Amino acid sequence: MPLTKLPNKIINKYKKWKIDSFVNNKATYEKLASEGQSPIAMIISCCDSRVHATSMFGAEIGEFFIHRNIANLIPPYNPDGDHHGTSAAIEFAICTLKVSHIIILGHSNCGGIKNGYHLCKGDQVNEELLFVNKWLHILKPAYDMLEQSADEKKMISTLEKQSIINSIQNLSEFPFIQKALSSNEISIHGLWNNIGTGELEMLNQKSMLFESL
Ligand SMILES: [Zn+2]
């Protein structure tokens, strides 16, 4: 058997939560356990530990259906019978939970976007990362939209936002999303969080520019 010691720090955090937060909200937990969930929105954010959507939006238990993946990407619609975790999460949120909003939450200093940038550019990347590299190819159409600049840092930052636009375009190709959009059952939002300043920018879907909230 491999070592399975859960760090004490994590165990202690759990115990503190159980006697503190859980006890104070016991009735809410019991209600959600018996009645099921009905979240108001789905959030698709990066796996990055610095992206703290529940804290940022002051989320209570049951409010957000959250899916995280590397670089908060939505892949193209592709019903090929393969394993598509992100598409499955979106399908469940829309078709079963009937969420009203989908929020794609990008962020600054995203390592996934940076790696994807170099991958799309044809730079040397870590070829051992089979799954990561395959996944980040989703960025190619967004990368191709970038204006060339000598300032590579700026291009990578722009790609963080351009990829959100590309994800919204991919999302709109899913038949159940098209159906929900045409009957005004859902709205889609693109957000970008600056980790260091706490700033949040929202995509204006007319101008296709990100504006501070
Ligand atoms: Zn990231």
Measured in Å, residue 110 CA sits from the centre of ligand 1 at 4
Give per-residue pLDDT as tens, 81-99: 899 999 999 999 999 999 9
CB neighbour list of residue 181: distance below 8 Å, 6 or more residues apart: 172, 188
Measured in Å, residue 112 CA sits from the centre of ligand 1 at 5
Find out whether 101 and 42 touch, Cβ atoms under 8 Å: yes
Per-residue confidence (pLDDT) for residue 1, from 0 to 100: 62
Per-residue confidence (pLDDT) for residue 2, from 0 to 100: 66
pLDDT < 70 stretches in the chain: 1-2
Measured in Å, residue 197 CA sits from the centre of ligand 1 at 16
Measured in Å, residue 170 CA sits from the centre of ligand 1 at 19
Per-residue confidence (pLDDT) for residue 161, from 0 to 100: 98
Distance, CA of 123 to CA of 70 (rounded, Å): 19
CB neighbour list of residue 84: distance below 8 Å, 6 or more residues apart: 75, 78
β-strand 200-204 against 209-212: which pairing, if any? antiparallel
Measured in Å, residue 107 CA sits from the centre of ligand 1 at 6
CB-neighbour burial class of residue 24 (10 A; exposed 0-12, middle 13-18, buried 19+): exposed
Per-residue confidence (pLDDT) for residue 190, from 0 to 100: 98
Measured in Å, residue 104 CA sits from the centre of ligand 1 at 12
Residues, beta carbon < 5 Å, ion ligand 1: 46, 48, 110, 112
Beta bridge partners of 49: none
Measured in Å, residue 178 CA sits from the centre of ligand 1 at 27
141 phi, psi to nearest 5 deg: -60, -35
Give per-residue pLDDT as tens, 179-207: 999 999 999 999 999 999 999 999 999 99
